[in-house]
Chain A
Amino acid sequence: MKVGVVVFPGSNCDRDMFHVLKDVFKLDVSYFWHEDKLPKDLDAVVLPGGFSYGDRLRAGVIAAHSPVIADIKKMADKGLPVLGVCNGFQILVESGLLPGVLLKNTSLNFMCRWTELIVENNKTPFTRQFKLKQRIPIPIANGEGRYYVDKATLATLKKNNQIVFRYSENINDSIFAIAGICNKAGNVVGMMPHPERAVEADINPKDTRPSNMIFESLIATVGARR
């Protein structure tokens, strides 16, 4: 199974994600620079966290106009798994692959802390191994992580089962405590927390198992597809 990690100027969780995919989950993983073409035989793609273009203007907005986005859209249309973490989520939203916006945290400060997610949709390629309502201890680290949509869109998200993760305690006043969503087809998932920071026992003070399942779900999905 071939996974790509897309690197934008300013990405800074790319190496963390690469390490987890390669060394922890033993996947065939490659970096792709934002100007590269994605190969046709790629099974899944991850947009890692960081500060693409220094978060100038608004987090993710400049990266959303990178050449690589066209290829990611093609992969998304084909139903292949696409995961955006933190800044990757912001890029997916800014490029129109996912609905909504990510606003500045109400504290106006960057927040780095551990929290807990609740799985609300276990049908996506990244959550299929979870039970519904299962809890995931996980860290967040962001300055613009407050998810927002208007009421009508929220109703659509609920109706289409597009809400993937919610915070058990709404730490940043996101609408409906949303921490991660997916597109209508369910194959494109964006989430603010950092699962790559929680899969190794050495750096996870809680339980690594639930975060592992995000990646194991991906492996199961792609394995099943092949």
Chain B
Amino acid sequence: MSLQPQELEYLSKKIGRKLSDTELHIVAAEWSEHCSYKSSKKHLKMLPTSGPRVIHEKGYDSGVLDVGDGYVVTVHIESHNHPSAVEPYGGAATGVGGVIRDILSAGTRPIALLDGLRFGDIEKDTHAKWLFKNAVSGIADYGNCLGIPTIGGEVEFDKCYSNYALVDVASIGFGKKENLIKNHADTGDVVVLMGGSTGRDGIGGSQFASDSLETEDRSAVQIPDPFIEKLIIEATLEARNEGCIKAIKDLGGGGLSCAISETADALGIGIELDVNNVHLREQDMKPAEIMTSESQERMLIITDKKRLERLQQICKRFRVSCSVIGKVTGDKMMRVTDNKSVLASMPAEVVANAPLLDRPSKRPAYLDDLKKKKEPRPATNLSKTLLKLLACPNIASKIWVYGQYDHEVGIRTVIKPGVDSSVLRLDNGKYLAAKIDGNPKHCYIDPKQGAIGCFEEACRNVVCTGATPIGMVDHLQFGNPENPEIFWTFLESLKGITEFSKYHNIPCVGGKVSLYNETPQGPIKPTPLIGVLGLIDKTPLKPQKIGQGDILVIIGKTRDELGGSEYYEYIHGFIGGTCPQVVFAESKKNMDAVLHLIQNEMVKAVHDCSKGGLAVAASEIAMTHDIGCSVSMENVPQEKMAVDKVLFSESHSRYLLVVEKSHLNSVIDYLKGDGVEFALIGKFGGRNIEFLQNKKSVSKLRVDKAHDKWFNSLKELVLHG
């Protein structure tokens, strides 16, 4: 159990007596870092969480955004890092299951999944490869079985995740505003546990997740059963339609302890439950085990006595178990009984609200060391360098991954995975773009600028489809918060995200903090992850055929900021330098300009510059459309610098546009009038991707050869490497 001496003291003072064994277990589960956010809660308040589209309701586990015409979109993000690190298949699968139930508990149908995956260096580390393959299978098998399309995400490999895995899953839901469940309950209502049976899997999971990973405690990992989850989804939505649900919450970290105490606290009610009523998978489970088991695929539902029978009928039809485990009381107490004997009786508010901590923070010493390091000399053969980058696991096509996900089920996926951002159609004729991004390499060098960059990149990705960002979810993943240097990186990231969110008026509608991401080898790099939702009123920018003579235009300035770039780290093995910084005003101006051009159908394609810089971004357009491209580097708006830096700098706020000749003048006029920094830098045609500096070729690759490398290298590495 993970309760600290001062927490025990605080607890006895609050309750006014010594706690029973069951009570201690309940509180330990709920007060784990994973459930209580005791290190982060104070600081998370800085994030802006409201806006004209945001709908707040007590007890929601997902963010709700009004998308007009009586419809809402819900979104949530979660991680399942520790479980995935020891049991990648089950860990990743149950990560999917958990976040889906958060969407369901708002009364919306889950319509999409995105996942962010991070592992060690799969080129050298066979264990990382094993983790990667199995995590992908776990996500695929779970999401596919449910019929929820996995429409995107990202995969990244970095040595800092050796013997570890970050598995982040975001889910999006959709529904009618009138069908949102407005959580409420009255004294005398019944409390129902619906879904899978409770077993010994996942006991202490939230506490396991709140500690550095030093042992492989597989019993703390839950067992996935997507089939039951699918039945729960259908049964819950039918029960919602029939008005059988007054309040609902999914069971995740902390199991019943957490669901009961948080529901009671949020709704201002008391809940009394008898452990004998919980349907079990295993015999002779102790009350404390029943209360803290994190067995998956379970929902807590509060209904009234009148509608209980209908709820039971629906569950019976779907063969989903449903037990009346307790009742709503008026005394705001969380009470657990075993027949007549009372095992736990505590104010729900005390259980649900761990005493918050004010952790010290200190700027890490390593940042000064990084500053002193001398930046590497330019690569000599830039053609070879570019080809190597295209095959680098962080840049290469992720078709091996998303090809295993059913990304089309639900018939909403208008733009499929593999481009900047996927796009879903909604029932009101609008479209939704969604993307998650992270960049631990940048964040390691500058946690604040790195986090802002992740946010900007996710925005850029949705903007490339013609979508205006309307909401954000963040997921902050760091090492041990008791280390002031690590806590400082957490705070810096949070500050950065807050500033950007406020500037662009993109509210934070949900998030997660995952701390203690450490192995005996040390902490992970700071890994904030940002998911952005964008709304398209009319029509998204769909892929169009790029032809001979189409023009390549760049928007945004390229700067000498290669710190944390793939070029420095993958090609030169160099960690250091200055990481890219977002200039807020420039970010806004460029974003607005791109949206204007797309909405007025002035461009054929838009792609953002990110990992691998301009060279990789231009190559990706050429490879995807199977056409050559010739780019003049001296035209690129830039701080004067060596050509390798112009090619590979990962400066933010940059977009590549493909413009048809006939539209060129109007594009130029618009961008000039708007004061956007831009230039015509290339032309499509031929069979080569060529970069020129003052008419001299600096890099030249054949499109088909480059495509082959980029498209197949990750698959080859997984299957044969």
- Asked if A and B bind, the verdict is yes
- Chain A residues near B (Cβ < 8 Å): 9-10, 12-13, 15-16, 19-20, 33, 49-51, 53-56, 109-113, 139, 141, 143, 194, 196-197, 200, 202-203, 205
Instruction: For the complex of A and B, list the 5 residue pairs with the smallest distance between their C-beta atoms, beginning with the closest.
Output: A12-B147, A54-B227, A51-B145, A141-B406, A16-B411
Return A4 CB to nearest CB of chain B, in Å.
18
Interface residues of B in 259-279 (CB under 8 A from A): none
Contacts A51-B230, A141-B409 aside, 7 further interface pairs with beta carbons under 8 A come to: A13-B147, A112-B404, A112-B407, A143-B144, A196-B411, A203-B425, A205-B542
Contact between chains at B409 and A110 (CB < 8 Å): no
Q: Are B145 and A10 in contact (CB under 8 A)?
A: yes
A143 to B147, CA, bound (A): 13
Q: Which residues of chain B in 115-172 are interfacial with respect to chain A, using CB atoms and an 8 Å cutoff?
A: 137, 140-141, 144-147
* Nearest CB of A to B698, in Å: 35
Asked whether, in the complex, the Cβ of A54 is within 8 Å of the Cβ of B414, the reply is no
CA distance A111 to B144 in the complex (A): 10
Partner of B403, one of A53, A112, A194, A202: A112
Q: List 6 A-B contacts (CB under 8 A).
A: A110-B144, A141-B406, A141-B408, A196-B411, A203-B408, A203-B412
B403 to A111, Cβ gap below 8 A? yes
- The CA of A50 and the CA of B149, in the complex, are separated in Å by 12
Q: Does B503 touch A at the CB level, under 8 Å?
A: no
Neighbour of A12 across the interface among B230, B318, B543, CB < 8 A = B230
Q: With A109-B140, A109-B404, A139-B408 in contact, is A203–B230 under 8 Å at CB?
A: no
Which residues on the A side are within 8 Å of B498 (C-beta)?
none
Q: How far is the CA of A201 from the CA of B137 in the complex (A)?
A: 31
Residues from chain B with a CB closer than 8 A to the CB of A141 are 144, 406, 408-409
Contact of B404 among A19, A33, A50, A111 (CB under 8 A): A111
- Residue pair A51, B409 in contact (C-beta under 8 Å): no
Chain B hits for A110, CB < 8 A: 140-141, 144, 404-406
The answer for the CA separation of A141 and B402 in the assembled complex, in Å, is 12
Contacts of A53 in B (CB 8 A): 227
Complex CA distance for A8 and B410, rounded to whole angstroms = 17
Name the contact of B413 in the complex, choosing from A12, A13, A20, A203 (C-beta under 8 A).
A203
Q: Is the CB of B230 within 8 A of A54?
A: yes
**Cβ A9 vs Cβ B231 within 8 A:** yes
Closest to A19 in B: B411
- B255 CB to nearest A CB, Å: 23
- Chain A: CB-nearest residue to B400: A109
Complex formed: what's the CA distance from A51 to B137 in Å?
16
Contacts between chains A and B (CB distance < 8 A), count: 82
Q: How far is the CB of B109 from chain A (nearest CB, A)?
A: 9
Interface centre among A49, A113, A200 (most CB of B within 10 A): A113
Q: Give the residue among A19, A33, A55, A202 with the most B Cβ atoms within 10 A.
A: A202
Contacts of A56 in B (CB 8 A): 227
Which of B137, B147, B317 gathers the greatest number of chain A CB atoms within 10 Å?
A: B147
**Complexed CA–CA distance, A9 and B137 (Å):** 22
Across the interface, which residues of B come within 8 angstroms of A197, CB to CB? 408-409, 411
Q: Is the CB of B404 within 8 A of A205?
A: no
Tell whether, in the assembled complex, residue A203 and residue B231 are in contact, meaning their CB atoms are under 8 Å apart.
no
8 A Cβ contacts from B287-329 to A: 317-319
With A9-B319, A51-B227 known as contacts, the answer to whether A202 contacts B404 (CB < 8 A) is: no
For A10, the chain B residues whose CB sits under 8 A away are 145, 227, 230-231
Binding site for A on B (CB under 8 A): 137, 140-141, 144-147, 225-227, 230-231, 317-319, 402-414, 416, 425, 542-543
A202 touches B414 (CB 8 A): yes
Q: Measured between alpha carbons, how far is A53 from B225 in the docked complex, in Å?
A: 11
Across the interface, name the chain A residue whose C-beta is closest to B146: A12
Does A16 contact B230, Cβ atoms closer than 8 Å? no
Which residues on A sit within 8 Å (CB–CB) of B227?
A: 9-10, 51, 53-54, 56
A50 to B147, CA, bound (A): 7
Closest to B415 in A: A205
Q: Which of A19, A110, A200 has the most CB of B within 10 A?
A: A110
Q: Are B403 and A113 in contact (CB under 8 A)?
A: yes
The smallest C-beta distance from A145 to any residue of chain B, in angstroms, reads: 12
Contact A55 B145 (CB under 8 A): yes
Q: How far is the CA of A216 from the CA of B408 in the complex (A)?
A: 23
Give Cα A110 to B400, complex, Å.
11
Q: Are A51 and B403 in contact (CB under 8 A)?
A: no
Q: What is the bound-complex CA distance between A36 and B614, given in angstroms?
A: 59
Chain A residues near B147 (CB-CB < 8 A): 12-13, 50-51
Taken together as a complex, chains A and B put the C-alpha atoms of A110 and B408 apart, in Å, by 13
Q: CA separation between A9 and B317, bound complex, in Å? A: 10
Contact A202 B140 (CB under 8 A): no
- Chain B residues contacting A203 (CB-CB under 8 Å) are 408, 411-414, 425
Q: Which residue of A lies closest to B136 (CB)?
A: A109
CA distance A113 to B418 in the complex (A): 12
Q: Which of B144, B409, B414, B542 has the most CB of A within 10 A?
A: B409
Contact B411 A51 (CB under 8 A): no
- Least CB distance from A3 to B in Å reads 17
- List the A residue with the shortest CB-CB distance to B234: A9
Residues of chain A with a CB closer than 8 A to B144's CB: 51, 110, 141, 143
Contacts of A205 in B (CB 8 A): 416, 542-543
Per a CB cutoff under 8 Å, which of B318, B408, B414, B542 touches A112?
A: B408
Distance in Å: Cβ of A207 to nearest Cβ of chain B: 14
Closest to B399 in A: A113
Task: Give the one of B144, B317, B402, B405 with max A CB within 10 A.
Answer: B144
Determine the residue in chain B with the shortest Cβ distance to A49: B409
Bound together, the chains give a CA A55 to CA B412 distance in angstroms of: 24
Chain A residues near B405 (CB, 8 Å)?
Answer: 110, 112
B411 touches A200 (CB 8 A): yes
The minimal Cβ–Cβ distance linking B408 to chain A, given in whole angstroms, is 5
A200–B408 CA distance with the chains assembled, in angstroms: 13
Closest to B417 in A: A112
Q: In this complex, what residue of A is CB-closest to B227?
A: A54
Least distance between B490 CB and chain A CB atoms (Å): 37
Distance in Å: Cβ of B494 to nearest Cβ of chain A = 37
Q: Which residue of A lies closest to B425 (CB)?
A: A202
Q: Closest A-chain residue to B542, C-beta based?
A: A205
Assembled-state Cα–Cα distance A141/B403 (Å): 9
Enumerate chain A residues within 8 angstroms of B319, measured Cβ to Cβ: 9
Residues of B within 8 A of A202 (CB): 414, 425
- Contact status B406-A112, CB under 8 Å: yes
Minimal beta-carbon separation of A115 from chain B (angstroms): 12
Tell me the bound Cα distance from A109 to B399 in angstroms: 13
Q: How far is the CA of A20 from the CA of B141 in the complex (A)?
A: 26
Across-interface contacts of A15 in B (CB, < 8 A): 410
Residues of A close to B146: CB separation below 8 A: 12
The CA-CA distance from A78 to B226 in the complex, in Å, is 37
Q: Which residues of A contact B408 (CB under 8 A)?
A: 112, 139, 141, 194, 197, 203
Which B residues are CB-close (under 8 A) to A113?
A: 403
CB distance from B502 to the nearest CB of A (A): 35
- Chain B residues whose CB sits within 8 angstroms of the CB of A9 once the complex forms: 227, 230-231, 318-319
User: Closest CB of chain B to A12's CB: distance in Å?
Assistant: 2
Residue from A55, A109, A194 having most chain B Cβ neighbours under 10 A: A109
Q: Please, which residues of chain A bring their CB within 8 A of the CB of B406? A: 110, 112, 141
Known: A9-B319, A51-B227, A143-B144. A16 touches B404 (CB 8 A): no
